[in-house]
Amino acid sequence: MSETKFEPKIIAFLCNWCTYAGADLAGTGRKQYQANVRIIKLPCTGGIDPLFLIKAFERGADGILVSGCHPGDCHYNSGNYHARRRWNVFRPLLEFCGINPDRIQFSWISAAEGGKWVETINSIVDTVRALGPFEGYHKLNTIGPEISGEAAAPSETG
Amino acid sequence: MSKKIGVFVCHCGTNISATVDVEKVAEEAKKNNPGVSYTTTYKYMCSDPGQKLLRDKIKEEGLDGVVVAACSPKMHEHTFRNASKKAGMNPYHVEISNLREQCSWVHPDKPTGTEKSIDLVRMMTEKTRKDKSLNPIKVPVTKRALVIGGGIAGIQAALDIADAGHEVVMVEREASIGGHMAQLSETFPTLDCSQCIMTPKMVELAQNENIKLYTWSEIEAVDGYLGNFDVKIRKKARSVDLDLCTGCSSCWQVCPSKKIKSEFDMKLGNRTAIYIPFPQAIPSKPVIDREHCLLFKDARKKNIPPNDSKVCRKCLDVCPIAPVKAIDYSQEDEIITEKIGAIVVATGYKELDDTSMYGEYGGGKYQDVITGLQFERLASASGPTEGEIQRPSDGKVPEIIVFIQCVGSRDPAKGCSYCSKTCCMYTAKHTMLYKHKVHDGHAYVFYIDIRCAGKDYEEFWLRAVEEEGATYLRGRVSRIYKKGDKLVVLGADTLTGSVVEIEADMVVLASAMKAQDDAEKFAQKLSIQYNKDKFFSEIHPKLKPVESSSAGIFLAGTCQGPKDIPETVAQAGAAASKVLALLSADELEREPVVAKVDRLPAPIFSTCIGCFYCKRVCPYGAIAEEDIKARDGSVIKTVARVNEGLCQGCGLCAATCRSKSVELAGFNDEQVYAEINSVEFS
Amino acid sequence: MIEELRKKAEELLKNGTVKVVFGYGEGSTPERTRPVFITKPEDVNKLTWNKYCVYNLTTYLKRQETRKLGKPALILKGCDARTIIVLLKECQIKREDVYIIGVTCDGVGDPLATKCEACDVHTPLIYDDLVGEKRENKEVPFEERYAELDEYEKLGEKEKWEFWQKQFEKCIKCYACSNICPLCFCDRCIVEKNQPQWIDPSAHPRGNLSWNVTRAYHLAGRCINCEECQRVCPVDIPLNLLNKKLAKEAEKSFNYRPGYNIDDELAMSTYKEDDDQDFFK
């Protein structure tokens, strides 16, 4: 892992109406950006349970992006407002537990902001690349507490 | 039993295959995923043969899940789901990997693009594995339309829908329909009289038996969903009984409050407190302006019911209707609910009238610096000067008149970056109207660009310049100041590079079209989106220009963005045709992407514990409390239930539920989990 | 005060207002008390009251065994009574189905429990009867209430991580924390959902982090800081630090404190258009 150049893996949770469409627009405009992001599309940022983020880290993500419609523009009126409230408490909680808040980024990107999508991705990839792999999390054991084993492979429960 | 999944990788000509090794993607899809039993690549999956391939393979290979790795799901998800349905597979077992917009077009390096594509296909394969069969939700359709706004857009849409045989409810917040078009003098590029072409339409609407008209009324609330809206309309107290009143005009003739600024005349003329906005108003029945009426003022001051005030009852006294008078001071607002199937929003625009931000133009303080719509009223035969161009301050006919374009438009410094689209043309028209009325007068126009993109528009503008002698100066006006009874206009002519100073008698600002003041609040009432300038947003700028972001709600006219009359009428017709298509069906099919609260066998019944966070966060009021009862009727527990007719599928409830007792179909827990879990990390 | 409590309990049981009284009884040693459930008027002498009455008896409102006993009267301190307000808001109880014997309190535990250090509910905010002399509920400044967090918030990222990993490593996933919590009332906890299994139920560091973070997050804007989770944790994880951190954030961001005002919207089921979003890009 340490030999090759570190390429961070970012999981992005996007709302269908704004940011996913914004990412599409970046494509239509042939705007290039780094290929480190895997997108999970949901109807609305309001539908993103913090468990999804925990799972993404567990799975091995080095960084997470949550992005949706600008305030006031939610396709479902208030989904992004509720989401924002959630992140307002969840983010400090993770920070309190020692997770660098730069590993979880939040943004508003509209369907018209292909450019902003590109900037956002490049920025989070660069930031997380500088932070390095999220080894703390990845190395957490998946075996019992009394055995201090090697970093276990990602659990695959299917 | 594990699914048999087929993966179809599209070349998209070379759009994908140029930067993604599609063969390798297909190969890897099979290699790494035990459930994948068939893979192929194809030049154009969306083509007829491509779809046939999909259909054939579903049947031949017995597939019960399909991943199409192609362009964005926003493009062809529908195509492939329909094709699968034709092959007998439930369409919700189809998922799209976005290899084009989100991969091949943005990552020019082939190995990188290929590697990412393999990941994207795996993610969707895993999601597909967890896809469940879903069936479209059928909802009945109320075959009535609501048109909000009675300007030319609303009138056109209402007439088109009504003429096709459907009932239309029109709600107009002013006392008369007609909107801005009724205020205009002549219209470009033909110079036909606006009222002469508008009023026949207004009459047609009033006479149409399929149209129910609510004027002096506003939308209070819109509940429900596509095909089944419940619309609450606030009928504001008019103080006049529309059924009894004959519009005889006696009342407004005796009203002593004669100096109220007329909104219709853009405050250049006066009206009474009981009034009709303009002579051709529909309905041609008055309303009492309670703010200015002496009786209501008195009642407010003394804090007594209006009926008890004795200050002035002239209108009531003179009303010839018997035995019950048509005037009723005690009338109150009334809330009416109408059942509606589809809605056309045609709420129009507001002219930028607050020019206080333009300090350099006098900041709204100079009486003879007027707006475009004010000029329309001056030029109109029904206007305060009966069509004579007189300046507001002293009634003098201006000999030199200056028009300034782009006031409040194309001016990011003032917070309005967009082009109002109509001002170039109406200013050209204004110079002509002026010239036709004041033969010796001279018109100057300051402009940034001239935008005459419309049929016969360029020719019209040329006529203003070449035949009617308007002087066009390319440049901004830096300042206007008063000198005696003149207005000195200081500007630049950037074409000659000189400073221009004009002593004008009157200045007309080509003021921008702005969204209505309450556009934002209104949009929230209807759950439709709007842009930064508060104009309502169409769902696709090219391919869905009249559809709002809420199903069953369509947009017409300037509420969606600045446009001229022909464009407005065309868009209104388009919105009407969308409404008609909707109302032509007895039942509608809705995407089954809705939430569901789990139900389990006794004694658990549901893992829902009834904390109702879901109900609180639901933007649609789609979650209700349901009592689970024992045989004897006693309540065992109270849990949440989703009304799938109301649910719009945002998933807010699912993310809020701590015990994960609510799931969103199409994005259920297992699907999301599978997606996250399938991302390959090295 | 004890006599007064007993008299009150006797009266309520006798006149049929309630079927059971949840209270504190003497424990095996003088420094202990234990919950008692009095169903007969003649048993009221089992009730006691002293500084060792640390438990939050509202947790028994969620248990089938104690629910079966019929309408309860609960002896509640000011902090415990805040739970009632949350439970009412979250539709878990109806006001008429519980009788609250509020007790004024100057703090419990020996040494004084952390939760009592910045107490501003010496007199309960909700009750049917109040026993003990009414105290003034003085507001304690924000910083003071969350002072316990300071030393942890000051730690660097790595130190925080190591501190919590050391704590979570100990977790044996016994779920005592959620069992005792009066607000962890789900019939099926998220860890019990296995399709999919979001949180690995076995006790290993990775799953322990997920569990402990999720447990705390699920109490965001709800926890009333009774510290019961921390008290019962057999491996001494300072769970309440997490709860307190969330309470602090909820108060800072939403100006909301659970269990103080029945009319307040629940923090996590509402929003304000001007909620903080400085961290959004």
- Per residue in A86-120, pLDDT tens? 999 999 999 999 999 999 999 999 988 999 999 99
Mean pLDDT taken over chain A: 87
Whether residue B369 is found in the same domain as residue B486: yes
Whether residue B468 is found in the same domain as residue B371: yes
Position C65 in a domain: yes
Position C275 in a domain: no
Beta-carbon count within 10 A of B646 CB: 17
Whether residue B190 is found in the same domain as residue B339: yes
- What's the pLDDT score for residue B645? 80
Q: How wide is the angle at C-alpha B117 spanned by C-alphas A2 and A102, nearest 5°?
A: 50
Q: Rounded to whole angstroms, how far apart are CA atoms C275 and C255? A: 10
Q: Give the CATH number, domain containing residue B164.
A: 3.50.50.60
Whether residue C212 is found in the same domain as residue C120: no
Q: How far is the alpha carbon of B117 from chain C, nearest alpha carbon, in Å?
A: 26
CA dihedral C229, C232, C237, C240 (to 10 degrees): 30
Alpha helices by DSSP H, listed for chain A, are 19-28, 50-59, 79-96, 114-131, 135-138
Strands B342-345 vs B553-555: parallel, antiparallel or unpaired: parallel
Is it the case that residue A152 has pLDDT exceeding 50? Answer: no
- What's the pLDDT score for residue B541? 82
Position B244 in a domain: no
Residue B445: strand, helix, or coil: strand
Bridge partners of B38, per DSSP, are B6
Average pLDDT over residues B324-337: 96
Q: How far is the alpha carbon of C219 from chain B, nearest alpha carbon, in Å?
A: 10
- What are the strands of the beta sheet with B228-235, ordered from one edge? B217-225, B228-235, B334-340
Are the C-beta atoms of B37 and B66 separated by less than 8 Å?
no
B670 vs C contacts (CB less than 8 Å): 195-196
Position C81 in a domain: yes
The residue range of the domain holding B55 is: 5-129
Position B674 in a domain: no
Beta-carbon count within 10 A of B214 CB: 21
Task: Please report where in the chains the tokens 């407002």 appear, as a residue.
Answer: A81
Interface contact B655-A47, CB threshold 8 A: yes
Whether residue B273 is found in the same domain as residue B180: no
Q: Domain boundary residue among C107, C131, C155?
A: C131
Phi-psi region of A72 (alpha: psi -120 to 50; beta: other; left: phi over 0): left
B549 vs A contacts (CB less than 8 Å): 17, 75
Whether residue B217 is found in the same domain as residue B149: yes
Residue B186 phi/psi, 5-degree rounding, is -115, 165
Residue B379: strand, helix, or coil: helix
Q: B71, B95, B101: best mutation site toward chain A, by most A Cβ within 10 Å?
A: B101
C195 vs B contacts (CB less than 8 Å): 669-670
Whether residue B103 is found in the same domain as residue B193: no
- What's the pLDDT score for residue A143? 67
Whether residue C124 is found in the same domain as residue C15: yes
Is it the case that residue A153 has pLDDT exceeding 50? Answer: no
B618 vs A contacts (CB less than 8 Å): none
Whether residue C110 is found in the same domain as residue C213: no
Q: Give the CATH number, domain containing residue B11.
A: 3.40.50
Strands C20-26 vs B186-187: parallel, antiparallel or unpaired: unpaired
Q: C86, C183, C186: best mutation site toward chain B, by most B Cβ within 10 Å?
A: C186
- What's the pLDDT score for residue B588? 87
Spell out where B441-557 has E strands. Answer: 442-447, 471-474, 477-483, 486-493, 498-504, 506-511, 513-515, 553-555
Position B528 in a domain: yes
Beta-carbon count within 10 A of A153 CB: 9
The two structure tokens encoding residue A138: 């990845």
- What's the pLDDT score for residue A146? 46
Whether residue B266 is found in the same domain as residue B184: no
pTM attached to this predicted model: 0.78
Whether residue B383 is found in the same domain as residue B491: yes
Average pLDDT over residues A44-51: 96
Position C137 in a domain: no
The residue range of the domain holding C119 is: 2-131
B115 vs A contacts (CB less than 8 Å): 35
Q: How is domain A10-138 classified at the architecture level of CATH?
A: 3-Layer(aba) Sandwich (3.40)
Find, among B616, B626, A78, B643, the residue nearest to C90 by Cα.
B616
- What's the pLDDT score for residue A135? 86
Query: Which distant-in-sequence residues (6+ apart) come within 8 Å of B90 by Cβ?
Result: B84, B133, B134, B135
Whether residue C218 is found in the same domain as residue C151: yes
Q: Domain boundary residue among C73, C96, C131?
A: C131
Alpha helices by DSSP H, listed for B438-564, are 457-462, 519-526
Is it the case that residue B421 has pLDDT exceeding 90? Answer: yes
B362-366, B623-627, C113-117: least confident range: B362-366
Position B678 in a domain: no
Average pLDDT over residues B114-128: 95
Tens digits of residue pLDDT in B379-397: 999 999 999 999 999 999 9
The verdict on B649 touching A (C-beta cutoff 8 Å) is yes
Position B242 in a domain: no
Q: Rounded to whole angstroms, how far apart are CA atoms B562 and B574? A: 17
HSE-up of C82 (CA within 13 Å, CB side)?
18
Spell out where B513-653 has E strands. Answer: 513-515, 553-555, 587-590, 595-597, 623-629, 635-642
Q: Domain boundary residue among B74, B95, B129?
A: B129
Position C272 in a domain: no
Strands A63-68 vs A10-15: parallel, antiparallel or unpaired: parallel
Q: How far is the alpha carbon of C184 from chain B, nearest alpha carbon, in Å?
A: 10
Whether residue C10 is found in the same domain as residue C66: yes
A52 vs B contacts (CB less than 8 Å): 672, 676
Bridge partners of B327, per DSSP, are B240
Average pLDDT over residues B557-583: 97
Find, among C264, C270, C272, the residue nearest to C89 by Cα.
C264
C187 vs B contacts (CB less than 8 Å): 604, 607, 609, 659
Position B136 in a domain: no
Is it the case that residue B581 has pLDDT exceeding 50? Answer: yes
DSSP 8-class letter at A154: P
Nearest to C190 among B617, B660, B670 (CB): B660
Query: Which distant-in-sequence residues (6+ apart) come within 8 Å of B415 by Cβ?
Result: none
Whether residue B354 is found in the same domain as residue B470: yes
Tell me the CA end-to-end span of chain B in Å, nearest whole number: 30
* Helix, strand, coil share of chain A (percent; to 5): 40, 15, 45
User: What parts of chain C have a pLDDT lower than 70?
Assistant: none
Average pLDDT over residues B37-49: 96
Is it the case that residue B413 has pLDDT exceeding 90? Answer: no
Position C43 in a domain: yes
Position C191 in a domain: yes
Position B312 in a domain: yes
Q: Domain boundary residue among C80, C107, C131?
A: C131
Whether residue C123 is found in the same domain as residue C151: no
The verdict on C275 touching A (C-beta cutoff 8 Å) is yes
Count of domains observed in chain B: 5
Interface contact C91-B670, CB threshold 8 A: no
Is it the case that residue A155 has pLDDT exceeding 60? Answer: no
Bridge partners of B407, per DSSP, are B511
Whether residue C112 is found in the same domain as residue C214: no
Whether residue C7 is found in the same domain as residue C57: yes
Mark which residues 592-611 of B lie under 8 Å from C by CB.
604, 607, 609-611
Whether residue B400 is found in the same domain as residue B540: no
Q: Where are the domains positioned within chain A?
A: 10-138
Mean pLDDT taken over chain B: 94
Is it the case that residue B2 has pLDDT exceeding 50? Answer: yes
Q: B520, B611, B668, B676: best mutation site toward chain C, by most C Cβ within 10 Å?
A: B611
- What's the pLDDT score for residue A158? 34
Is it the case that residue B681 has pLDDT exceeding 70? Answer: no
The two structure tokens encoding residue C253: 């961001």
Nearest to B660 among C185, C193, C268 (CB): C193
Name the helix (H) or strand (E) containing B18.
Answer: none
Whether residue C19 is found in the same domain as residue C96: yes
Query: Which distant-in-sequence residues (6+ apart) come within 8 Å of B78 by Cβ?
Result: none
Position C50 in a domain: yes
Q: Rounded to whole angstroms, how far apart are CA atoms B265 and B284? A: 17
- What's the pLDDT score for residue B359? 85
Position B675 in a domain: no
Count of domains observed in chain C: 2
Q: Rounded to whole angstroms, how far apart are CA atoms C198 and C185? A: 19
